[in-house]
Structure 1
Amino acid sequence: MANKLGPSSIFSSLLFFSLIIGTTLAARNLNDNVFEWLKKDHRGLPRAVIHVSDLDRSIRFYMQGFGMKLLKRRNFPDRQYRDALIGFGPQNTHFLLELRQRYDSNDVFIGTEFGHFGIATQDIYKTVEKARANGALVIHKPQKVNQTIFAFVEDHDGYKFKLIQRTTSSDPLVEIMLHVQDLNTSLNFYTKALGMKLFERQNNSTGQIVLGTLGYGVNPSKTTILQLEKRKNIPRDDGRDGYSMVYIGTDNVNKSAEAAKLVMKELGGNLIIEPVLFSNINVKLTGFTDPDNWITNMVDNKDYQRGTL
């Protein structure tokens, strides 16, 4: 004969299931609130970090070859490197490159995973010649494809720069391109975890997505964009000690980390820096990797504007 549940047992069971449902709904509401907040967060791409073999040489080349400005030089004995901040304008309004040279080694391995940085110019022929005259290797001479004239040059460490003909650009450093394994997963990650807008998809002849252009704002030609390209038939290179990371500004580091954690459970990636205030520079940030182990650091907007990072 089947056991019959008494009133107290039925009540306990109902209470147990109501607690589960309540907890689930509360978690869902919390998740929804985080993602709703993310849509309103003020975000941008302020800086990328790369390692160089000779800091003085890189500074000289980027200034003379591309016309960038040296904004700051620093030395960090406790971290075993020195660096320089360089770009086409001030930190508060322009995308910067942070060049780092290690104390213990001058070797830099870029590999096949990093794609290029993009620089907009009003006279691509003059820019190519200026870069070449200062030591750049011209990989592709200026050519016109789909109404856009572009060229590729390479610096002494092997970093590639795509030079793009444009009549106007508020900040000439306009593009970062990285290779990824699964483009759909990566595009989902950057739109969900980082709140980026997918500006454009490019398909190959079979209809497969091979390139995605993402960023913040409404006009990709007026901001620094991130391009993700599906890795072609080349072996994956995990050296990656050249290109290091990108910074993204946020109004709330803690909420940004919460959103990233939720997306990482679904799509992959790892939290590598819990939200923390670095008291020596008074900057709050958090850091994580995407499904391809590319590193992103989220930094508090107000802290970044102070210029101590």
Structure 2
Amino acid sequence: MAKMIHSMIRVKDEARSLEFYDKAFGLKVADKLDFDDFALIYLANDETSFELELTVNKGEPKDYDLGDGYGHLAVSVEAAELEPLHHKLTELGHQPRSIVEFQPGGEVVAKFFFVADPDGYQIEVLARTGRFAKL
């Protein structure tokens, strides 16, 4: 059976992205492969073996066009951490969207908010409750 190990996004400013993912989600550099024209930076934390790969194309003159095919990344936090993290991201100037409780039929399936990283990638932050209690 296949095991998901990482997802990759292209970022413009390495330092800005590393700071965001560290402060927002505690993701640290697990490995970095540095080449002449690009670098691959793998971010991880102790919560999971899944990594986020940042690709930095050196000398890229313009921002990336995310197009209309990109969806989002998702992370989960303990339910009690959702609101404090939302507050922290707000204080850091990242303008997270409002916290939403998705409860079709009256049962809470998910409690979450979205925040954009410095390159505009959307990240869904889910409380470990409802469908996501064990993720």
Question: What TM-score comes out, normalization by structure 2 length?
Answer: 0.82
1:1-309 pair list within 5 angstroms: 42-77=1-36, 80-89=37-46, 94-106=49-61, 107-122=63-78, 123-138=81-96, 140-146=97-103, 147=108, 148-166=110-128, 222=134
Answer whether contact 1:52 1:157 (CA < 8 A) is retained: yes
Kindly state the Cα deviation for residue 72 of structure 1 after the two structures are TM-superposed: 1.7
**Post-superposition offset of 1:84:** 1.2
Match of 1:113, SS state, is coil
Cα displacement (A) at 1:143: 1.6
RMSD: 2.2
Q: CA 1:85–1:135 in structure 2 vs 1: closer, same or farther (change >3 Å)?
A: farther
Q: 1:43 to 1:222 in 2, by over 3 A?
A: farther
Q: Which amino acid aligns with 2:2?
A: R
Q: Residue type matched to 2:89 in 1?
A: A
Amino acid at match of 1:165: A
Q: Which whole-Å CA distance do the structure 2 matches of 1:127 and 1:112 have between them?
A: 28
1:144 maps to a residue whose letter is E
How far residue 89 of structure 1 moved from its aligned partner, in angstroms, is 3.0
Tell me the percent identity: 25
Q: Distance in 2 between matches of 1:157 and 1:143?
A: 23
Unpaired segments ≥5 residues, structure 1? 1-41, 168-218, 224-309
CA distance in 1, matches of 2:115, 2:123: 5
- Give the C-alpha shift of residue 105 in structure 1: 0.5
Structure with max Cα Rg:
1
Greater RCO structure (CA 8 Å; 6+ sep): 2
Q: Is the 8 A contact 1:143 1:151 kept in 2?
A: yes
Indicate if the aligned counterparts of 2:11 and 2:54 stay in contact, CA closer than 8 A.
Answer: yes
Following TM superposition, the consecutive aligned residue runs of length 4 or more in structure 1 with deviations greater than 4 angstroms are 219-223
- The question of whether the paired residues in 2 share the 8 Å contact of 1:69 and 1:89 is answered with no
- Asked if the contact 2:40/2:54 (under 8 Å) is kept, the reply is yes
Distance (Å, rounded) in 2 between the aligned partners of 1:119 and 1:76: 29
1:249-305 superposed Cα distances (whole Å, 9 cap, x missing partner): xxxxxxxxxxxxxxxxxxxxxxxxxxxxxxxxxxxxxxxxxxxxxxxxxxxxxxxxx
How far the C-alpha of 1:56 sits from its partner, in A, is 1.1
Partners of 1:145 and 1:152 in 2: how far apart? 13
Distance 1:129 1:163 in 2: 13
- How much does 1:104 deviate? 2.8
What is the rounded CA distance, in whole Å, between the counterparts of 1:88 and 1:135 in structure 2? 23
Query: Which secondary structure does the structure 2 equivalent of 1:108 belong to?
Result: coil
Aligned-partner residue type, residue 119 of structure 1:
V
Report the structure, 1 or 2, having the larger helix content: 1
Alignment match, 1:25? none
